[in-house]
Structure 1
Amino acid sequence: MSDNDFYALMPLLLLAGASVLVMLLIVARLSHRIIQIVSLALFIVSFSSLVYMRDLLPYPIDPLFVIDDFGVFMIGLIIFSGLVVNVLSYIYFEEKEEGPKEYYVLLFLCTLGACVLAVSGHFVSLFLGLEILTVGLYALIAYLRKRKHSIEAGIKYLILAAFSSAFLLFGMALIYLQTGTMGFSEMAGALADVATIPPLFLMGLGLMLVGAGFKLAVVPFHMWTADVYQGAPVPVTAFIATASKGGVVAVLLRFFVAIDGFRFAGLVFLLICIAIASMIVGNLLALRQKNLKRILAYSSIAHLGYLLVAFIPGSPMVPQAVSFYLLAYFVTTLAAFGVVAVLSDRESDAEELVRYKALFWKHPVLACILSSALLSLAGIPLTAGFTGKFYILATSLRSGFWLLGIVLVASSVIGLYYYLRVITVMFSGINDHVPEPEEKHPLFFGISMGVLSVLTVLVIWLGVFPDGVISFVQQFRLR
C-alpha cells in the first residue's frame, strides 16, 4: 500500500482500528464513561482525517473503491452522524439494564460499513460494506433485550435484511452473468452500445432494486420501518435513519451514474412509481400515529421518496441535490431523535405524544430544538428542509419531471398536519410528568444539549444562508 492509498483510506482504517481499541478497553474493564469519552475522541480523529484526503481527489483504488469529492462528503456525513449518536448514547444508556460498553464497538463497525458503501465502485466492496453495516445493526436494534418491543424489532430486521441481501446477491449474479464484470465502470463499457436493457441485466437490476428498497424502506418495501424504529434504542434509531440509509443512497447513485441507468425508460418509470408511492404512503401512514418514533419512521419513508425525486432526472445536478438534501436531512433527523434520547428515562423511551404535552413550559430549549427539527422536516421556509426540497424541486422540474414535482408539493402539504400536531402538543396544556433529564449526569446532559444546539443552528443556517454549502456541492462529479 502506497502512502496515498493509506491517506485515502485513513478514515476507514481509523474506524476499524477504533473498534479493536474499544474491545481492548472493555477487556481492561474500564468504566462506561471512559469508553464513551475515548470513543468520542476516536470519532473526532476519524472525522479530522478527512483533511488529509483533499489534495488526492479523485483517487481510485482499483478495483474496489472510488475516492472522490462526493464519496468524501458522504464519509464525513456518516462519521458526523456516528459522532452525534455517540454523544447522545451516554446519557441514554448509562442507567439502562444492559451493559453499554459493547455498544460502541458495534457503532464503530456500522459506521465503517456505511463509509465503505459510500466509496464503493465494485460489487464486492458494496456487499462487504452492506454486511458490515447490517450485521452490526442486528445486535444494536435488539441491544436492550428486556424491552417490550426490542427482540421483536431485532428479529424483524434480521429476517427482512437477510431476504434483501439474498435478492441483492442474486441480482448481482445475474448482472455479472450478463456483463462479465463486477466493477461499475467496466459494466458501463459492456452496456455502452446497448439501446435496450438485456433481459438478464434487467432481471438483475430489478432484484437489486428490491434489495436496496428494503434497506432504504421505500414503498412497497417499508413494512419493517415503524416497528424497528419503535423497538430499537433511540440513538440506534437515529443512526438507522441517517448513516445507514445515507450509505445505501450513495452507492446506489454511484452505480446508476456509472452504468448510465437513467437512459433506460422502463427503469426510470419504475423509480418514478416507487418515489410517488413513498411520498404519498409515508405521509398518509403518519397522520394517525400517536407515537413520535413511529411518526418519524413513516416520515423517513416520505423523505426517501423526496430523495428519489432528485435521483431520477439523471442530470449533472443530481449528485449536488442529493448531497445537500442528505446533509439537511441528517442534521434535522439527528436533532429530532436527540431530543427523544435526552427525555427518555430508564424504564421507557419518550416516544408517546402525551409525554410531550406542555414540554415548552418546562423545558423550553428542548421544545424549541424539536420544533425547529419538525419544521425543517415539514419544509417550512428559513429551515434546511425547505432549501433541500427547493433544490430537489428545481432538479426535477428542470429535467421536465413535472408530475414528481407536483406530488412532492402535495405530499409535503399532507405532512404539515402531523408535524404541526406534535408542535401544538408541546406548546399547549399543563403536564407535571415531563421527565427531568438535567437531574441525571449534568455534565453529559450539558454536552448533549450543546450538540443539539449546534444541530439546531445548522438547521437554521442551512435554511437562511445555504449559498456556501450549495457552492461546495456544485463541484461534485461522480466518477
Structure 2
Amino acid sequence: MVLNDFLHLMPLLILVVASLIIMLVISVKRHHKIVYIITLLSLIAAFASLFEIGETEPYHISPLFVIDGFGLFYMGMILLSSLFVAMLSYAYFEQREERKEEYYILHILATLGACVLVISKHFAGLFLGLEVLSVSLYALVAYLRSREKSDEAGIKYLILAAMSSAFLLFGMALVYAMSGSMGFYEIGLYLSVSQEVPLILLIGFGMMIVGVGFKLGVVPFHMWTPDVYEGAPAPVTAFIATVSKGGVVALLIRFFIQTGGFEYPTLVLIFTIIAIASMLAGNILALMQTNVKRILAYSSIAHLGYILVAFLAGNALGVEAVTFYLVAYFITSLGAFGIITLLSDEERDAEQLEDYRGLLWRRPWSAAAFTGMLLSLAGIPLTAGFVGKFYILAAGVRTDLWLLVIMLALNSVIGLYYYIKIIAVMFSQANVSRERQALHPSAYLVSGITIALLAILLVYVGVYPTGLMQMIENLMLSINAPAL
C-alpha cells in the first residue's frame, strides 16, 4: 500500500486507533465519561475526514476496496448514525451496574465493519467487513448480562448469524469456483461473456442471497429480528436497525450493479417474492404486537420490503430512491429508538405500550418527537418518510414494477394502523406514570439534544428534500465505474 491508500482509508484508521486508545484507557482506569467523549470525538473525526478524501473519480485500493461517491456517502451516513447512537448511549448505560466502557469499543468496531462493507468490491473485503460487524453485534446484543431476554437474544443472533455466514461463504465459494474470480466487476465480466449461466453459479448466488437475507432480516430469514430487537439494549437495537442493515444494503447494491445481477430473471423473481413477503408478513405481524420494540422490529421487515422495490428497479433512479429512503429511515428509526432509550430505566426498557400511556401529558416534547417519527414511518406528508416512499414509488413506476408498487401502497395503509395505535396510547388521558429520577437531569441533556436534532432533520428533509436529492444524484454516478 502507498501513502495515498492510507489517506483514503483515514476514516477506518481513525476508528481502529480509537478502539485501541479506549482499550488503553480502560486498562489504566475505568471512567465512563472519558471513554464516552473519546468515542464521540473519534466518530466526529472519522466523519470530518470524509471531506478531505472526497473525489469525483473513484479511487481503487486493489483488490479489496473502492473509494467512490457512493461509498463516501454511505460511510458518512453510517458514521453520523453511529454518532447519534453513541450520544444516546451515555444516559442509558450510566444508570446500569454493568461495566460500561467495553460497550464503546464494540460500538466503534461494529461501525468499522459497516464502513468496510460499503467500500468492498471483493469477496474478501465483503467477508472481512461482515464478520467485524457481526462479531461485535454478538456481544452488543447480549451486553446487559443480568437481563434474561438479553442473553436469549444474544444466543439467537449468534446461532442464526453464524449460520447465515456459512451460507454466504459456501455461496461465494461456488461463485469463485465457476468464475475464477472474487472481484465483483470480474464476476460481472465472466457473466457477460457466458452463453448461459451455469446452475452451480445460480446456486452460489442463491446461497449468498440466503446469507444476506439473514443479515437484513427479510422474509423468510426474519425469525431473529423481533426477539433480538426486544432483548438487545435500546441503543444497540437502534444500531442494528440502521447502521447494520444500511451497510448490507449498500453492499448488495454495489454487488448487483457491478455483476449485472439485475439482468437475470431468476434473481429478480427471488427478490420480488422476498419483497412482497416482507411487506405482508412485517405489517400483518406488527398488528398483533403490544411490545413497541417488537412492533418496530416487524415494521423494519416491512420497510426492507419497500426498499427492495426501488432496488429491483435496477437503474440510477432506483439506487437514488434506495439511498434517500435509507436516509429517511435512519432518521426516523434513530428517533423512535432514541425515545425508547430516553424513557428506559435501570430495570427494563420502555417497550410496552402501557409505558407510553398518557405520555403527551407527562412529557409533551418526547411525545411530539415520537409522534413525528411514527408518522414518518407511516409515510405521512411533511415528513422524510413520505418523500422517501414517493421516491420509491417513482422508481417502481418508471420500471413498470406494478405488482410491487400496488403491494407497497396496500401495505402502507396496513402499517398506518399500528403506528396510529401507539400515538393513540400516548394521547390517552389515563396517567400511568413510570417516571424515574435515578440520574441528574444533566445526564439526559445530550440524549435530549440528539432527539431534537433528529426531529428537526425529519421535518427539514420532508419539507425541503431537493438538496439531499441533488447530493445523492451527484454522488451515485460513480458506482457504475469499472474496477481497476
1:393-448 per-residue CA deviation (whole Å, 9 max, x = no partner) reads 100110010110000000000000000000010011222423246x6232231111
Q: Tell me the SS of whatever aligns to 2:60.
A: strand
Check if 1:182 corresponds to 2:143: no
Residue in structure 1 matched with residue 101 of structure 2 by the alignment: 101
Q: Distance in 2 between matches of 1:317 and 1:66?
A: 22
Do the aligned partners of 2:95 and 2:439 also contact (CA within 8 Å) in 1? Answer: no
Check if 1:453 corresponds to 2:452: yes
Which deviates the most, 335-344 or 313-322?
A: 313-322
TM-score normalised by length of structure 1: 0.98
Do the aligned partners of 1:196 and 1:264 also contact (CA within 8 Å) in 2? Answer: no
Do the aligned partners of 1:91 and 1:441 also contact (CA within 8 Å) in 2? Answer: no
Residue in structure 2 matched with residue 89 of structure 1 by the alignment: 89
Residue in structure 2 matched with residue 32 of structure 1 by the alignment: 32
Residue in structure 2 matched with residue 262 of structure 1 by the alignment: 262
Q: 5+ unaligned residues in a row in structure 1: which ranges?
A: none
Structural mapping, 1:163-202, within 5 Å: 163-194=163-194, 196-202=196-202
> CA, structure 1 residues 229+22, in 2 after alignment: closer, same or farther (shift >3 Å)?
same
1:57-107 per-residue CA deviation (whole Å, 9 max, x = no partner) reads 411111100111111111111111111111111100012121110000000
Do the aligned partners of 1:219 and 1:278 also contact (CA within 8 Å) in 2? Answer: yes
The residue type paired with residue 441 of structure 1 is H
Residue in structure 1 matched with residue 340 of structure 2 by the alignment: 340
The residue type paired with residue 92 of structure 1 is Y
Residue in structure 1 matched with residue 229 of structure 2 by the alignment: 229
Q: 5+ unaligned residues in a row in structure 2: which ranges?
A: none
Structural mapping, 1:290-439, within 5 Å: 290-436=290-436
Residue in structure 2 matched with residue 249 of structure 1 by the alignment: 249
Residue in structure 1 matched with residue 153 of structure 2 by the alignment: 153
Q: Distance in 2 between matches of 1:255 and 1:460?
A: 33
The residue type paired with residue 446 of structure 2 is I
1:128-165 per-residue CA deviation (whole Å, 9 max, x = no partner) reads 00000000100000000110201110000000001000
Q: CA deviation at 1:266?
A: 1.1
The residue type paired with residue 449 of structure 1 is G
- Number of residue equivalences: 478
Residue in structure 1 matched with residue 13 of structure 2 by the alignment: 13
The residue type paired with residue 218 of structure 2 is V
Q: Distance in 1 between matches of 2:197 and 2:286?
A: 37
Q: Distance in 2 between matches of 1:175 and 1:441?
A: 56
Q: Distance in 2 between matches of 1:102 and 1:267?
A: 41
Q: Tell me the SS of whatever aligns to 1:137.
A: helix
Do the aligned partners of 2:325 and 2:385 also contact (CA within 8 Å) in 1? Answer: yes
Q: CA deviation at 1:35?
A: 1.0
Q: Tell me the SS of whatever aligns to 2:332.
A: helix
Residue in structure 1 matched with residue 129 of structure 2 by the alignment: 129
Residue in structure 1 matched with residue 464 of structure 2 by the alignment: 465
1:278-320 per-residue CA deviation (whole Å, 9 max, x = no partner) reads 0011000000111000000000000000010010011121221
Residue in structure 2 matched with residue 68 of structure 1 by the alignment: 68
Q: CA deviation at 1:55?
A: 3.1
Q: Distance in 2 between matches of 1:444 and 1:45?
A: 24
Q: Distance in 2 between matches of 1:175 and 1:78?
A: 29
Runs of 4+ in 1 over 3 A off after TM superposition: none
The residue type paired with residue 465 of structure 1 is Y
Q: Distance in 2 between matches of 1:196 and 1:436?
A: 65
Do the aligned partners of 2:78 and 2:243 also contact (CA within 8 Å) in 1? Answer: yes
Q: Distance in 2 between matches of 1:130 and 1:118?
A: 10
Q: Distance in 1 between matches of 2:32 and 2:308?
A: 40
Structural mapping, 1:197-216, within 5 Å: 197-216=197-216
Q: Tell me the SS of whatever aligns to 1:149.
A: helix
Do the aligned partners of 1:8 and 1:56 also contact (CA within 8 Å) in 2? Answer: no
Q: Tell me the SS of whatever aligns to 2:193.
A: coil
Q: Tell me the SS of whatever aligns to 1:220.
A: coil
Q: Tell me the SS of whatever aligns to 2:24.
A: helix
Q: Tell me the SS of whatever aligns to 1:192.
A: helix
Residue in structure 2 matched with residue 240 of structure 1 by the alignment: 240
Q: Distance in 1 between matches of 2:369 and 2:44?
A: 24
Do the aligned partners of 1:358 and 1:429 also contact (CA within 8 Å) in 2? Answer: yes
Q: Distance in 2 between matches of 1:99 and 1:119?
A: 33
Q: CA deviation at 1:45?
A: 0.9
Which deviates the most, 287-296 or 52-61?
A: 52-61
Q: Distance in 2 between matches of 1:397 and 1:441?
A: 52
Residue in structure 1 matched with residue 440 of structure 2 by the alignment: 441
Quick one: percent identity of the two aligned structures? Answer: 55
1:210-246 per-residue CA deviation (whole Å, 9 max, x = no partner) reads 0000000000000110000000000000000000001
The residue type paired with residue 343 of structure 2 is L
The residue type paired with residue 317 of structure 2 is M
Q: Distance in 2 between matches of 1:79 and 1:326?
A: 14
Q: CA deviation at 1:56?
A: 6.1
Do the aligned partners of 2:118 and 2:251 also contact (CA within 8 Å) in 1? Answer: yes
Q: Distance in 2 between matches of 1:95 and 1:222?
A: 32
Q: Distance in 2 between matches of 1:377 and 1:422?
A: 12
> CA, structure 1 residues 209+364, in 2 after alignment: closer, same or farther (shift >3 Å)?
same
Q: Distance in 1 between matches of 2:228 and 2:440?
A: 28
Q: Distance in 1 between matches of 2:150 and 2:415?
A: 28
Q: CA deviation at 1:377?
A: 0.4
Q: CA deviation at 1:41?
A: 1.1
Q: Distance in 1 between matches of 2:274 and 2:414?
A: 18
Do the aligned partners of 1:339 and 1:366 also contact (CA within 8 Å) in 2? Answer: yes
The residue type paired with residue 89 of structure 2 is S
Q: Tell me the SS of whatever aligns to 2:316.
A: coil
The residue type paired with residue 392 of structure 1 is I
Which deviates the most, 91-100 or 216-225?
A: 91-100
Q: Distance in 1 between matches of 2:55 and 2:278?
A: 39
Q: Distance in 2 between matches of 1:247 and 1:269?
A: 23
Q: CA deviation at 1:392?
A: 0.6
Q: Tell me the SS of whatever aligns to 1:66.
A: strand
Q: Tell me the SS of whatever aligns to 2:345.
A: coil
Q: Distance in 2 between matches of 1:417 and 1:196?
A: 47
TM-score normalised by length of structure 2: 0.97
